[in-house]
Structure formats: C-alpha cells, structure tokens
Structure 1
C-alpha cells in the first residue's frame, strides 16, 4: 500500500454505513412484488450497481419505463429503504475516528456515490457528517456511473488532487473497477462482498471489515 495519500474518496452505501442488505431487500420486493420481474435475490444483488434508472434498464430493457416513471420508482424504493433502515443508521465502526484523523492530517475527503442526493442527504444530515467532505459527487452529477471512472475523476478534479494521490473506499466490485479505471488505489470494505470477488482488481490494496483495522494507518 502506498503511503501519504492526499485525498480519501468514499463510496457511501456499504462503505460508510452497512446498509446494503436493506437496499437489497427494498429492490427485491420492488422489482418482484411491484414490477413483476420474477428475479432471485442473487440476481437482484448482481444488478445493484450504478444509477437506479440504469438498474431498471438492465432488468426490464431500454424504453420499458419513461424517465418520469423511473424517477418515481426510484424515489419509492428509497423511501421504503429509508423507513426500514433509519432506526439502524450508524457509521461503520471506527469511521468517525478515521475521518477525524484525516482532518487532523490535512487529508481531503469527498463522497463519490451512485446514490441520488435524496439518499446521500438522508445519511449526511441524520449523522451530521457534511462538514467532513469538500465535495459530493452523486448520481445526478455524472453522465456515466460506475464502473466508468467519471465519479471519482470528477471528485479528484474538484479537490485538485491527482488520481494517483487518491485512495477510494469501496464495497462493490464495480466500484473498485471504477477506481481502477480512474488510476486510483482502493480499500475494500467487505460488508457485502467477499475478498475473492475482487481478485481481478490489482488496485485493491487492502480488505477491511471496518475502520478499526490498523492497516489503514499506512494511508497517512
């Protein structure tokens, strides 16, 4: 692992908060019970990357829903997720101390997430985290979502930090692929995927279950 990174770029869901099973539940019921997709839980999980409308296109095909219908489905899914997850909303263990250390060490921080602002605000405002981040890149801020590198390259550009001086915190293979495409190392949170699922990504420099792992000290 390279030392002395200048910026930490965080995915949000599954990386800062351990909520991906709640998203999976919400999508599973929405796709099957509301929209009649007839998908197994594992197949739904395999589609959970990128923007919500991209997920709907992957499942149902181009043109099945209008943009307005997809926006409505997306918001309803997120409302259901938030209602169930809110009583459990908390940072992954050790993250607050890790971010405080980053602030003290002068490391810049940003969020690069495929989530819509409605969900990002839900986390940042309920946990009072907004002050940690110099910028937030959401689904609404990019044309191409992960695994395309746009999300992380845009965050790095706003921070005025070279890609090689950033490390990305991710929980999903497609997110680590986005970091690789951006020329960035990645630390993987094994909240929903196993280490073996990242074997093809040479930029995955560490695997941790939470932010108390001492290997993270090497980033400073």
Structure 2
C-alpha cells in the first residue's frame, strides 16, 4: 500500500544545516559486559513527569502514566491512563523510525547477535535480548561500537557496524510491515496539515530503505539523522534541528519513540514524548521520561477519536454553531 502523494516530499537535512550550539562528547562505558546488572548509558536529561503530573503539549497538567513493575504489567492498565497530550492543538509530529514506524528491533537484535558472536565478543557467547535492550537498542552506532570494543581503533569499529548494518538490510529485504495503526495515524496527520519529520539514529541507507519499504517516505517533510548532527540521541540535537526546520516550538510538537535513548532525546528537547512498547519494558520508558506509553498507533488513534468526539459534543452543546476551542 503506497502512501498518498499529498503527504509531501521527503527532504534530507542539508550539510550546511547540520549544526548545534553544544558539542560535548558522549560518555563511554569502558567496562561494558553482558553480565552488567545496570547501565548508565541511558540517563535521561530530564523528565516530563513531576509530582504526579505530566506536561501536555498545550502546557497544562494531566495525570501521569502509572508506574509499572515490569513486562508482566498489563498494557491495558498503562494505556487507560489519562492522555497527557492535546492532539487537537499540536502543530507537528516527530517520529523515530526503527521500532516506532516499524517493529525492526528483532532484526537488529539478530544481526548484532550474529556478528558479535563471530568477532568473539564475551568469548563468542550470543548476547540475549536483555543485553540488546539495555546497551544497544536506539543508540548511535559509533557509540555502541566504542562501548563494546574500547580497545579497537576507529577504523575497526567502523567496519564492524557497517558490516552489521549490511546484515540488517539483508534481513529487512524480506519485507517490513508498519506498526499497527500507523497508516491511519499518518492519514489523520495529513488531513490536519500537521508538520512532520522522521528523526533517527539509523544510518541514511537504513532509514531511507525502511521508509521506502513501507511506502511512507512522502509523508515526512524532513529526514534528520543523528549521524549528521553534532550529537546523536540521547542528546536533544536531532529533535531540536527537526523543530527548527519545521518552524515548531517544543510545546507545539509531539515525539514518538521506542527506546530509552530516543525518549531521553525528545524530553531533553522539551517536547512531550509518547513511547511505544515494541522492544522495551514500559517501566524503563517511563523512567527515561515518556509522558504516555502505548502499544501501537491504534491506541493513539483511539485517544484521538475520543478527544474529537468530546470536542464535537462540546460544540453541539453550545448550540450556537461556534467551533470548540480545542479545535
């Protein structure tokens, strides 16, 4: 299924616009090991949740997402929380790609598992999904390689992650499917004339391949790559650049993410972040600063439809034909 041609034209970030005010290096963990019980790689730069309230895109307080005890927590309990984003007042939507538009993490996990075993990481023992989620998912390739192999030189690290990405593209060539409800949400975004950007730490070849495979590349005005910014996620640079390109403020934007590093980046940029549970424990996503946690875009569309129905009811209740303020 191809996306509507009216979505717009995908534009990449011009080289001369790849800039940010700060250029501090990302910290590295030289003692990374699969048996590490905790990680400091994903420290959030801030949180939208404070004193039991989450800040909505309109600047008003809403009930925070309930705390979760782990993956056994019922997602229905999470998505039943009041929605802290006013979808009827936002002007732009910023999307991560891997794990957000498409459930690609299983393919990335398989590619990393294979190549790490081949190069003898941790004695050749295959990494498990917990290690992948904690130390790899959503992060920038150079940082991943530096943490996994601090003793390697830069050329060897680069060859390692380029090989890994080639493996991923071969696996993805068999076919990718959009996350549930994504096409319906993108159509709603198009109908409302909202500004859009895809913001990712994935290499350009991967990002363009995934968007094209899904037939949705025309639905994004800009593709902002972490590797083309001064700093990639978890720093806010990619999201701040996307907002600048679209002429948006953080309060006019909403970010969709699936990884702790991506959530932290959106939060640090000042936008409300909705997290999808395609590859992470909901509690980890909340800890990173997500203001709302959902399974897929069907949950998002359900919330939007409820908000629209309430707005229509309010308008009819006035009986004067005026348009609801939430519109």
TM-score (norm. length: structure 1) = 0.90
Give the structure with the higher percent helix.
Answer: 1
- Contact 2:146/2:157 (CA < 8 Å) preserved in 1? no
The match for 1:27 among 112, 115, 132 is: 112
Within the candidate set 41, 45, 49, 2:133 is matched to 45
Match of 1:9 among 89, 94, 98: 94
Cα distance in 2 for partners of 1:128, 1:201 equals 31
Correspondence 1:58 to 2:141: no
* 1:95 lines up with 2:165 in the alignment: no
Preserved CA contact (<8 Å) 1:37 1:59: no
Distance apart, 1:139 and its partner CA? 2.8
Shift in CA distance, 194/174, structure 1 to aligned 2, threshold 3 Å: same
The question of 1:157 aligning with 2:209 is answered no
Given that 1:117 and 1:139 are in contact with CA atoms closer than 8 Å, whether structure 2 keeps it comes out as no
Report if the CA contact (8 A) 1:51-1:139 is conserved. Answer: yes
- Once the 2 structures are TM-superposed, how far is the Cα of residue 85 of structure 1 from its aligned partner? 2.7
> Aligned partners of 2:170, 2:286: CA distance in 1, in Å?
35
Deviations 1:123-171 (A, max 9, x none): 1122222211111111332121111100100111000100121111000
Matched, 1:206 2:292: yes
CA–CA distance in structure 1, aligned partners of residues 190 and 245 of structure 2: 17
Q: Which runs of 4+ in 1 moved over 6 A?
A: none
Cα separation, 1, equivalents of 2:265 and 2:188:
26
- The answer on 1:141 being equivalent to 2:228 is yes
Q: Distance in 2 between matches of 1:176 and 1:165?
A: 17
Write out per-residue CA displacement over residues 35-82 of structure 1, whole angstroms, 9 at most, x where no aligned residue.
Answer: 534463232332213211110001111x6132x433332222112112
Superposition deviation, residue 178 in structure 1:
0.9
| 2:102 and 2:176 in contact (8 A); partners too | yes
Runs of at least 5 residues in structure 2 that lack an aligned partner in the other structure: 1-83, 309-326
Structure 1 residue 208 displacement after superposition? 1.4
Q: 1:79 aligns with which of 166, 176, 180?
A: 166
**Which residue number corresponds to residue 36 of structure 2?**
none
Counterpart residue number, 2:203 = 116
Q: 1:135 to 1:168 in 2, by over 3 A?
A: same
State the distance in 1 between where 2:251 and 2:243 align.
10
Contact (CA 8 Å) 1:20, 1:192: kept in 2 or not?
A: yes
* 5+ long unaligned stretches in structure 1: none
Cα pair distance change 1:93/1:85, threshold 3 Å:
same
1:98-122 per-residue CA deviation (whole Å, 9 max, x = no partner) reads 1111011011110110001010011
Give the alignment's TM-score, normalised by structure 2.
Answer: 0.62
Q: Aligned residue pairs: how many?
A: 217
SS state at 1:188 partner: strand
